[in-house]
Chain A
C-alpha cells in the first residue's frame, strides 16, 4: 500500500471532522436567510463546540458507564464511516471494509447506542425519544435498502467506490430509476438526520422532540461529542448521496496528483454548498408532521424507491 493513499485516507477523515460543523452552520445560515432572520455566523457551531468543551460535565447520579462511553462510540463510528465513504477519492484503504449496506449497519449501531444511553438515566423523555428514534430508524431502513437496490441494478455493486467508478464509465447515463431513488434518498436523509419535516433540530418543546429528547441529560464535552457526531452523520449522509447520484469530481486514484486532488476538493465544496442550500430550502418549505404521520412519509419514500426498481426492471424487460 502506498503511503500516499494512507495519507489521503487520514486527510479525508480530518476533512470530514473539520468541515462537518461548517456544513451544519451553512444550512443554518441559509435557513435564516430564507426565513428573513438575521443569520448566525458560519462558525457558530465551532463556537458552540468550544463553549461545551469548556464547561463542567453535570452527570446524572443514575448514569451508568454506558452513558459516559456512548458519546465516544458515536463520534468514533461517524469518523469511521467518513473514512469509508468515498467523499474525495475512491481507492482508499478503508473503503473495502464496508459496502453501503454495511454502512447502514454502522449507522444503526450508532443509533442503538444513543437510544440505549437515552434510556440509561430513566427519565420519561429520554425513553420516549429513544423509542421514536428507533421507530424512525426501522421505517427508514427498508427505503434505504431499496435505494441501494436501484444502484446495484445499474452498476452491479453495493460498494460505493465501484458505484462511483461505474458512473464515471458511463457519464451520459441518466436512468429514470435513479431519479426516483434520488428523491427517496433525500426524504430518508431528512428523516434519519432528525430534520424537518420529521423532527425539528431547533425545537425547545420536549413533547415533540425525537433526537433532542435523547440528548437532554448530556452536557459539556459529552454533549459536544454527540453534537459533533450528529454533524458528521449529516455530512456522511450527504457524501453517500453524492457518491450515489452525483459522483463527478471524485478522484478515482488517490495517487492521481495534485490536480485531481484539487478538483475533488473543489467538487466536494461546491456540492456541499449547493446541497446545504437545497436542504435549507426544503426545510423552510415544509412543516413538521405529527409523529404518527412519519410512517406515511417514509412509506412514500419507500414507494418511490420501489417505483424506481420496477421502472428499471420493466424497461430492462422491454429492451430484452
Chain B
C-alpha cells in the first residue's frame, strides 16, 4: 500500500518531509532552554524524517523512475519555484538522508544547555540547514537554487558560530561566511552565462540554451562553476575556510558540513557541468583532474601534521573532496573522448566515494565530539589511551578509521578501488601526452590513499591507544545511548557498503545512466567486476568471510594446541625506569617524517632554545603557504582599495547626494 504511494508521488512526499523539518525546528523555539523536548522528541523525529527521505530517494533510484517536476507558487510574482526530482538529486538526497539520520540521532544526545547557543535555537538552525540542503538538491531553477544555497550558507554560519563569545570562532565564522559569499557570486554569474541570452532561468531552459553557447562562454560558465562550487567543496587553493570552520563548529555541525554540505557542492558541480553544459571539451576534464589530485595530496599532507583532531579531519575532508573531483575529472575526460563506459566507471567511483565519505567522515567527526565531551580536550597532545575508558567509541572509531584509510573490506576501499580501476584505462584516451601523464595520476592517488592510512593511524593511535597523557582522562566515559545509536548507524553503513558495494553502486548507476547513458555492471551480488570479470574483480563478502574464517580457525587451533598461559607484566622500559606517559611519541612526532619529506608545502617557524637555557621551550608553528602567498595579498589589496574609496566618505550629506545624482546621470547617459 505505502510502496506504490512512495513510487508515485516521491516529490510531493519529499516536500511534506522538508516542511516537517521546518516545523520541528520552530517547535523547539518556545522553550529554547528546555533541552528535554528538543533532545528527546524533535531531534529523534528529525532523524526519522532523514530516514524517510533516504528511503524515498532509494526507491526512486532503484525503480528507475522518470524525473518528476512541480511548480510551487512561492517566490516573486511571476517567478514561481520550479522543483524537480531526478536520479542525480535523488542520489544526493540519499546521502543527505543516510548520514543525516545518524547525525540527528547523535545530536539528540549531544547538544546541551550551557554550551553556546541554546538547544531550542540550535534545533531551529539545524533543521533549517537540513531543509535548505534538501531544497538545493531539488531546485530546478536558478532562483530557488540560489535562495536555498544562501539559506544553507547562513544557517550553517550560525551553527558554526554557536560559541560566538570566543574571538577565534567569530573569526573562523567570518572567513567561512566571506568565502561562502564569494563562491555564491561565482555560481550566480555562472547561471548568468548559462541562460545564454534567453533570460530564462529554469534549468530546463538552460539545458537547451547551452547547446548554442560559444566555446568561450561555455568554458567561462564551467570555470565559474568550478570556482564557486570548489569554494564550497574546499578544493585547494580555495580550501582555507575548512580547517578554520570545522574546529570552531560543534561536532555534529562539523559532521553535517563535512559529510553532507560539501556534497551539495559536488552535486551543484555535476548538475552544471554534466546536466546543463553536457561536458564539451576534454581540457575541462584535465583541469578538474589536476585540481582534484592536487587537493587530494595537499589535504593528506596537511592532515598528517595537524595536532588538533578536528583540524586533522578537516584537512582529510579536503583530501576526500579531491578524490571525488579526481573521479569527476576522469569522467569528463573519458566522456569527451567517447569512452562512455569508462566515464560511467569513473563517475560511479566519484559518487560512491561521496556517499562513503559522508558516512565515515560524519562518524569520525561525531567521535571527536564524544571525546571532546568526555575529556574536554581537542588537542591530540592531551589525549591517549581512551580505548580503555571509552571502549564503545573506540571500537566504532576504529571502523571509521579503517574505512577512511581505504582498507578492505570496508567502504572506503571500494570507491578507491573503482577509481584506480578507471585510471587503468586512461592510456586509451586519444590525446597524445595526456594519455601518458594521466596514468601518473593513479600513482598520486595511491600515494594519497596510503598517506590517508598514515594520517588515520596517527589519529587513532594518539587518541585511543597508548597511555593517557593527562591524569584527567581517567574520568572519561562512553556517551549516552542516543549518541551510541547515531555512531552505530554510521558504522553499520560503512561496513554494509564495504561488503556489499552494490548497495551504493546500484543507486549510482541510476545517476550515470541519466548523465552518461551508460552504467557499469552490478549484476552479481557476490562480487563486483565493473568492466569484465577476468579483468578485475573484488568481493568484500568473500574477503570479510575469509578473514574472519582464518582468524577464527587460527584462534581455535592456537587455543586447542597451545597452552593458554598468560601473565601481566609492566611494559618494557628500555632499561630506563623513570618513564611517564608524557614521554610517549606525540602527534607532532608522528608528523615529523611528513614535515621532513614535504617541507616545500609548509611555512615552518621554529623557536629553538639555546643550550644554556634554564627553562628551555621549544615552539614550532606550521602554516599553509597558500595563506601568505594568495590570501594575504588579496586582503591587503582589498584594504587598500577600500581606503582609497573611503575618501568619498566625508560625512556630509550633500556630497553623498551629489554622488547619487552623478551616478544617476551617468546611468541615464549609458542607457539612452
Which residues of A are at the interface with B, using a C-beta cutoff of 8 A?
53-54, 56-62, 64, 66, 72-73, 75-77, 79-80, 83, 94, 96-99, 101-102, 105-106, 108-109, 111-112, 115-116, 119-125, 127-128, 130-132, 134-135, 137-146, 149, 152-153, 156-159, 162, 206, 216-217, 221, 225, 292, 295, 302, 306, 309-310, 313, 317
Contact assessment for A109 and B466 in the assembled complex, using a CB-CB cutoff below 8 Å: no
Which residues in chain B, 414-467, are within 8 Å of chain A measured between CB atoms? 417, 420-421, 424, 427, 432, 435-436, 439-440, 442-444, 446-447, 449-451, 453-454, 456-458, 460-462, 465-467
**Which residues of A are found within 8 Å of B539, using beta-carbon distances?**
96-98
Partner of A122, one of B543, B551, B565, B581: B581
- Closest chain B CB from A304 CB (angstroms): 13
Residues from chain A with a CB closer than 8 A to the CB of B384 are: 122
Contact of A145 among B446, B461, B566 (CB under 8 A): B446
B3 at the interface (CB under 8 A from A): no
**Total of A-B residue pairs, C-beta within 8 Å:** 243
Residues in B with CB closer than 8 Å to A102 are: 408, 413, 417, 538, 543
For the complex with contacts A66-B398, A145-B443, A206-B574, 18 further pairs of A-B residues with Cβ separation under 8 Å are: A75-B551, A94-B546, A97-B546, A99-B538, A106-B408, A112-B407, A120-B466, A121-B571, A122-B465, A123-B571, A123-B579, A124-B584, A134-B453, A134-B454, A137-B450, A145-B420, A149-B424, A158-B535
CB-based nearest B residue for A128: B585
Chain B residues whose CB sits within 8 angstroms of the CB of A106 once the complex forms: 408, 543
For the complex, give the distance between the alpha carbons of A135 and B554 in Å: 29
Does B533 reach chain A (CB closer than 8 Å)?
yes
Give CA–CA (A132, B462) in the complex, Å.
15
Please pick, from A77, A112, A119, A158, the residue contacting B536 in the complex, using a CB distance under 8 A: A158
User: Which of A57, A99, A313 is the one whose CB lies under 8 Å from B565?
Assistant: A57
A162 to B527, CA, bound (A): 17
8 A Cβ contacts from B570-598 to A: 570-574, 579, 581, 583-585, 589-590, 592-593, 596-597
Query: Which of these, B461, B535, B546, B579, contacts A127 with CB under 8 Å?
Result: B461
A317-B432 contact given A141-B447, A142-B447, CB 8 Å threshold = yes
Query: Beta-carbon contacts of B553-578 to A below 8 Å, as 1s and 0s?
Result: 01100100111011111111110000
CA distance A159 to B473 in the complex (A): 48
B571 adjacent to A62 (CB under 8 Å): yes
Q: Which residue of B lies closest to A119 (CB)?
A: B461
The secondary-structure label for the interface of chain A is helix
From residue B399, how far is it (CB to closest CB) to chain A in Å? 13
A73 touches B593 (CB 8 A): no
Instruction: Tell me the smallest distance from the CB of B21 to a CB of chain A, in Å.
Output: 39
CB distance from B541 to the nearest CB of A (A): 8
**Shortest CB distance A240–B (Å):** 15
CB atoms of B527 and A97 under 8 A apart: yes
Residue of B nearest to A141 (CB): B450
Does A80 contact B547, Cβ atoms closer than 8 Å?
A: yes
Alpha-carbon gap, A206 to B547, bound state (A): 32
A-B contact pairs, 10 of them (CB 8 A): A99-B538, A112-B407, A121-B571, A132-B593, A137-B454, A143-B443, A145-B442, A217-B572, A306-B440, A309-B436
Would B558 and A225 count as touching, CB distance under 8 A? yes
Residues of A within 8 A of B446 (CB): 141-142, 144-145
Q: Is the CB of B534 within 8 A of A162?
A: yes
Most chain B beta carbons < 10 A, residue from A79, A80, A122, A143? A122
CB pair B450–A138 under 8 Å, yes or no, is yes
Interface assignment of B283: CB less than 8 Å from any CB of chain A? no
Decide: A122 near B467, CB < 8 A? Known: A108-B407, A141-B449: yes
Which residue of A124, A149, A159 contacts B442 across the interface (Cβ within 8 Å)? A149
Contacting pair B535 A58 (CB below 8 A): no
Contact of B535 among A62, A143, A159, A217 (CB under 8 A): A159
Contact partner, A116, options B465, B558, B593, Cβ 8 Å: B465
A contact residues around B527 at 8 Å (CB)? 96-97
CB distance from B595 to the nearest CB of A (A): 12
CB distance from A137 to the nearest CB of B (A): 6
Taking a contact as CB atoms under 8 Å apart, the answer to whether B584 and A98 are in contact is no
Q: Are B543 and A101 in contact (CB under 8 A)?
A: no
User: Closest CB of chain B to A243's CB: distance in Å?
Assistant: 15
A152–B424 contact, CB under 8 A? yes
Q: A57-B565, A61-B570, A217-B572 are in contact. Are A135 and B547 (CB under 8 A)?
A: no
| A-side contacts of B458, CB under 8 Å | 131
A128 to B589, CA, bound (A): 9
Residues of chain B within 8 A (CB-CB) of A137 are 450, 453-454
The contact of A159 among B536, B555, B597, by CB within 8 Å, is B536
Residues on B with beta carbons closer than 8 Å to the beta carbon of A128: 585, 589
Expressed in whole angstroms, the minimum distance between the Cβ of A204 and any Cβ of chain B is: 13
Q: What's the Cα separation between A131 and B454 when bound, in Å?
A: 8
CB distance from A40 to the nearest CB of B (A): 24
A56 near B533 (CB under 8 angstroms)? Answer: no
Any A CB within 8 A of the CB of B69:
no
Contacts of A57 in B (CB 8 A): 565-567
Please give me the residue from chain A that is nearest to B573 by CB atom: A123
Instruction: For B408, list chain A residues within 8 Å (CB).
Output: 98, 102, 105-106, 109
A116 to B572, CA, bound (A): 18
Determine whether the beta carbon of A124 is less than 8 Å from that of B447: no
Complex-state Cα separation, A63 to B53, whole angstroms: 44
- For A79, A94, A120, A134, the residue with the greatest tally of chain B CB atoms inside 10 Å of its CB is A134
CB distance from A206 to the nearest CB of B (A): 7
Report A103 CB to chain B, min CB distance, Å. 9
B387 within 8 A of A: yes
Which residues between 583 and 642 of chain B lie within 8 Å of chain A, taking CB atoms? 583-585, 589-590, 592-593, 596-597
Residues of B with C-beta under 8 A to A135: 454, 593
Smallest beta-carbon distance B206→chain A, Å: 40
B480 contacts the other chain (Cβ, under 8 Å)? no
- What sequence of 0s and 1s flags, for each residue 175-187 of chain B, a beta carbon within 8 Å of any chain A beta carbon? 0000000000000
Q: In the complex, what distance in Å separates the CA atom of A221 from the CA atom of B533?
A: 40
| Inter-chain contact B593/A72, CB cutoff 8 Å | no
Of all A-B residue pairs in the complex, the 9 with the closest CB atoms, nearest first, are: A138-B450, A122-B466, A127-B585, A119-B461, A76-B550, A76-B551, A122-B467, A97-B542, A60-B571
CA distance A111 to B551 in the complex (A): 16
Q: Which residues does chain A contribute within 8 Å of B417, judged by CB atoms? A: 101-102, 105
In this complex, what residue of B is CB-closest to A61?
B568
Minimal beta-carbon separation of A209 from chain B (angstroms): 12
Output the least CB separation between B303 and chain A (Å). 12
CB neighbours (8 Å) of A149 from chain B are 424, 439, 442
- Known contacts A134-B454, A141-B446, A145-B446: does B467 contact A62 (CB below 8 Å)? yes
Contact A73 B551 (CB under 8 A): yes
CB distance from B543 to the nearest CB of A (A): 5
Is A313 in contact with B574, judged by CB distance below 8 angstroms? no
Docked complex Cα distance between A216 and B573 (Å)? 11
Q: B574 contacts A99, CB within 8 Å?
A: no
Contact indicator B584/A122 (Cβ below 8 Å): yes
Contact A61 B558 (CB under 8 A): no
Give per-residue flags for B487-503: 1 if the beta carbon is below 8 A from chain A beta carbons, else 0: 00000000000000000
> Which residues of chain A have C-beta atoms less than 8 A from B550's C-beta?
75-77, 79-80
Q: Is B663 an interface residue (CB 8 A)?
A: no
A270: min CB distance to chain B, Å: 28
Task: Choose from A99, A109, A206 the contact partner of B537 (Cβ within 8 Å).
Answer: A99
Residues of B within 8 A of A77 (CB): 547, 550
Q: Answer yes or no: B230 CB below 8 A from chain A CBs.
A: no
Contact between B535 and A97, CB atoms less than 8 A apart: no
Verify A122–B567 contact, CB threshold 8 A.
Answer: no
- Of chain B, the residue at the smallest CB distance from A129 is B585
A139: B residues at CB distance < 8 A: 450
A207 to B158, CA, bound (A): 50
| B405 on interface, CB distance cutoff 8 Å | yes
Closest partner residue, chain A, to B558 (CB atom): A221
The contact of A130 among B421, B457, B535, by CB within 8 Å, is B457
Q: Kindly provide the distance from the CB of A286 to the nearest chain B CB, expressed in whole angstroms.
A: 22
CB distance A157 to B572 under 8 Å? no
Q: A60 near B407 (CB under 8 angstroms)?
A: no
